[in-house]
Amino acid sequence: MQSYLQVIITRFVVSFVFFLGALSGNFAQELHEEADIAFNRRGYFEASSDYVAAYAKVKSDLMLKAYCAFQAGECFRLMHDSRGATEWYDKALGLRYAKTNPRIYLLYGDALRDQEDYYTAMEWYEKFGENGDRSLADARIEAADIAAIAMEEPPSRFIVEPMIIVNSPSYDFAPVYASKKSNVLVFASSRLGSTGSGEDPITGERFMDLFTTTQDKKGDWKTPEPLSNLCSDDNEGSASFDKRFKTIYFTRCVDQDGSNLACDIYYAPVVGNNFGAPQPLFIVNREEDDSTQIGHPALSLDDNYMVFASDLPGGFGGKDLWFAAFNDDNDTWGLPQNLGSSINTAGDEMFPSFRANGALYFSSNGHGGLGGFDLCYADEREGVMAFSDVEILPYPLNSANDELGIIFKGQTNTGIFSSNRNGGKGQDDLYEFRLPPMEFCYRAYVYDYDTGMPVSGASITLESSDGKISSETSNEDGSLELCDGEIEEGVSYDVDVKNEGFIGTGDRFSSIGLTESTTFAREYFLKEIVLEKEYDMPLVLYPTASAELLINDEVNSADSLDFLLDLLVRNENLVIQLEAHTDSRGSGPSNKKLSQKRAETCVNFLLDKGISGDRLVPFGHGEEMLIVNDAQIAKLPESEREAAHQVNRRTVFRIIRFDYVPTEE
């Protein structure tokens, strides 16, 4: 039996444990409430620590524990840490948080997608479809499937390389060119050397500042330096310049004791190699609205409009792209106008920029793509700040992670963007990209049609769509190869292949619209010129007892005669006799007359196309030269007899001269 003292001690221990549990529960409650406050003011880094601590303290309240795990996952998601997000979503799922909020299936799938685990992500999207929004789930599944294929078979030729000298282990993002030559770069960074020494409650990093770097004559970028006279103890980021690079516009987010006050656009004049005092450009009245976020300015090519990101009321989702017009009369910016549903989505659209062709580029997590924020663009069209449908840039410009802001060097396909993709140096890094020129080759092989032997010394002439003409000769193997820039991008070529004593031939090829390097391999078979020889040509058909060309949905005899037209255009020295034959049905005189009319129909077709009548002789043979006679046809099954008659109803040509000299007009 226990002694009285032992009973008292046991009761004391049990009571003390309950007392500690109550303290622990109260402490957990306070922690999660503080985390909620930090989360609601976007202090995700601070909130994540409190949610994690609260999760560890909660013992019996499993719903609260699951909530803390989910909220921790949300913090990591909003800090663009997909691995941290999946870790905490996983804990919440283990505590059956999906029964409370099935959206966790969607968010878990997004986090897996952002780690390039597309196929597993699709499984979680399917679970969300079964318990949530079916149409949204299907859209995610389709996008993930497309992204998986794109990663396995890259659809573009872009080459992407990290800017190793420029990047740091911290956040480096939102690049903008700061000179007409595009050899000066300004970007936002939380690296050491920032003016603001405090800790950003959103990221846990130092406050952002604007940094600059210059490219030397060799194309190398120098070590970045802060724009110290422009930056403050608060957050600065995402800048833009006017077209003359005389004014800088940038984002500043003021922080007072972790309160995360609203962001605004500031501007400052460029004074030599420095800047004048920055001034706020109040898009909204801060006396009436101290919470709306406004930033990421981008000026149109003519400086008449400014596009920016904001969560102003009346938008389509989180952050939308808006624009304001500049008023020359009073040097002010007008009221904000939303860019509309073709640009904005229920997600976030941010980091706008304009390309030299007027197209609007931006980052979005609402237009689909490979995952996270993707780089998108919309071409300029007629109207005030009017744009075409949004297109998503291909891999490797986009990845499964976040791409935040892209700029192009003039009209070229080179530039810089920022991304937190795998393999980087820090949180977000800057990447240079370029589109190398495509390589095109033309390989010709010339053979004798009858013997199959190579024809050496054949003349091969290429005339390009931009008027250039080059004449080459086939080698002893009958071949010719043109590479190393001799075949240009975006050009079509007409090819003529000729050799003494042969009927010339040729064709056409084009690099217009191609997106990959291509080799155009062609074989040309030259027929020897033999006078009075019957040459076959594509089938020319006529209605029964008619001399009109047969043209319907199944047959176009005009296309067959285009073969002869091409031959005569390429071989200006030929004079031909165009011969028509009939089958044996009908009377001999009527067939003779019909075949003559058919031959004349073909000649008239060629005359209408510009072939000289001196080169064309129509001749109708009627039924005089049957290939399959009546006795042979009679032995055939009835189902095959009409085809045998068709063999006899043929149109052919003979070369009767090859010394014709065209007259000059």
pLDDT digits (tens, 9 = 90+) for 639-663: 999 888 888 888 899 999 999 998 7
User: Does pTM surpass 0.75?
Assistant: no
**DSSP state, 304?**
S
Cα radius of gyration (the chain)? 38
Q: What is the CATH number of domain 534-657?
A: 3.30.1330.60
What is the per-residue pLDDT across 582-640, written as a single tens digit (0 to 9) for each? 989 889 899 999 999 999 999 999 999 999 999 999 999 999 999 899 999 999 999 99
| CB-count exposure of residue 541 (10 Å: 0-12, 13-18, 19+) | middle
Q: Which CATH superfamily is domain 15-152 in?
A: Tetratricopeptide repeat domain (1.25.40.10)
**In the chain, domain spans:** 15-152, 159-434, 440-528, 534-657
Mean pLDDT of 118-130: 94
What is the CA angle 528-533-536, rounded to 5? 85
Q: What is the pLDDT at residue 260?
A: 57
Please give the CATH superfamily to which domain 440-528 belongs.
Answer: Carboxypeptidase-like, regulatory domain (2.60.40.1120)
Edge-to-edge, what's the strand order for the sheet holding 505-510?
A: 469-473, 459-464, 492-498, 505-510
Provide the residue type at 346 as one letter.
Answer: A
Evaluated on CA atoms 320, 321, 326, 327, the torsion sign reads negative
Q: What is the average per-residue pLDDT within 238-266?
A: 85
Q: Give the distance, in angstroms, between the CA of residue 446 and the centroid of all CA atoms in the same chain.
A: 39
Helices 103-113 and 134-152, axial angle in degrees (round to 10): 10
- Dmax of the chain from CA atoms? 139
Please state, in angstroms and rounded to a whole number, the distance separating the CA atoms of residues 266 and 275: 12
Q: How far apart are CA 596 and CA 620, in angstroms?
A: 4
Tell me the mean pLDDT in the region 315-321: 93
Average pLDDT, the chain: 89
Number of Cβ within 10 Å of residue 108's Cβ equals 26
What integer pLDDT is reported at residue 259 of this predicted model? 56
Superfamily of domain 159-434: Glycosyl hydrolase domain; family 43 (2.115.10.20)
Q: What is the mean pLDDT of residues 47-72?
A: 91
